[in-house]
Amino acid sequence: MIKESKSYEKIEQYDTEITAALAQNYKVIIETLGEDVNREGLEKTPERVAKAMQYLTHGYGLDPLELLKSALFTEDHQQMIVVKDIEVYSMCEHHMLPFFGKAHVAYIPNGKIVGLSKIPRVVDAFARRMQVQERLTDQIKDCIQEALNPLGVAVVIEAQHMCMQMRGIQKQNSVTTTSSFTGAFEKDKTRKEFISLVVNKLS
């Protein structure tokens, strides 16, 4: 878990037992790959990786639904609300390599709105797990739908996958786009309005 003090100094707190177990496993992995885990550059690497992996998967310790429910407000607004260009960093569960990009999320309220910062937090809570992009897209949509019961939810994610860029087919410029819609966004007109707002830059 990462915390910031009042002086904005980063304080890192990790489960010591999990860190020790992961570090031991990473030590074995490094040695099995043919490296000398005791040399200067690698001596502390197993522990560093153990902490990094805990941070990269800290979404398992978060409850996205409760995040949303903690900041619901009654509001008579029934026009589209869009939060776009949300940075996404996740870990592909097939090769444990990163994929990263942007998420664009919209909903049409039905008596309730949510604090705007909670949308990116929900994206992060689901992204910081072992994932596939398709499931991530659906999870974000379903969580917002359940918490707010809006007239509709739209989620689009554009991401680059290191498992395609560093290995395998090695296509450096490929981008994967996934989408998921409910309610009003299943109508062509509303969906086009959302896509237009995502694509166009407002002057």
> Which positions make up the binding site?
92, 95, 163
DSSP, res 93: T
170 has catalytic annotation:
no
95 has catalytic annotation:
yes
pLDDT value of residue 172:
76
93 has catalytic annotation:
yes
Give me the catalytic one of 66, 87, 93, 134. Answer: 93
CB 132 within 8 A of CB 166: no
Block mean pLDDT (10 aa), the chain, length 203: 49 85 98 97 97 95 96 96 97 96 98 97 98 98 98 98 86 89 97 93 58
Give me the catalytic one of 31, 47, 95, 193. Answer: 95
The amino acid present at 198, given as its one-letter code, is V
Give me the catalytic one of 13, 43, 94, 186. Answer: 94
Point out which residues pair with 4 in neighbouring strands.
10
> Which positions make up the binding site for Zn(2+)?
92, 95, 163
Place of tokens 């969906």: 191
Q: What are the backbone dihedrals phi and psi of residue 17, each rounded to the nearest 5 degrees, phi first? A: -70, -45
pLDDT value of residue 35:
97
pLDDT value of residue 188:
96
**CA distances to 72, 80, 121, 123, 187 from 117, in Å:** 12, 16, 7, 10, 27
Which domains are present in the chain?
A: 16-58 (1.10.286.10), 65-199 (3.30.1130.10)
pLDDT value of residue 170:
77
pLDDT value of residue 4:
45
Give me the catalytic one of 31, 58, 163, 165. Answer: 163
Cβ-based neighbour number of residue 71 at 10 Å: 14
**According to DSSP H, which parts of the chain are helical?**
16-32, 45-56, 64-69, 118-127, 133-148, 162-165, 188-199
Angle CA 58–62–66, to nearest 5: 165
The amino acid present at 195, given as its one-letter code, is I
pLDDT value of residue 8:
45
92 has catalytic annotation:
yes
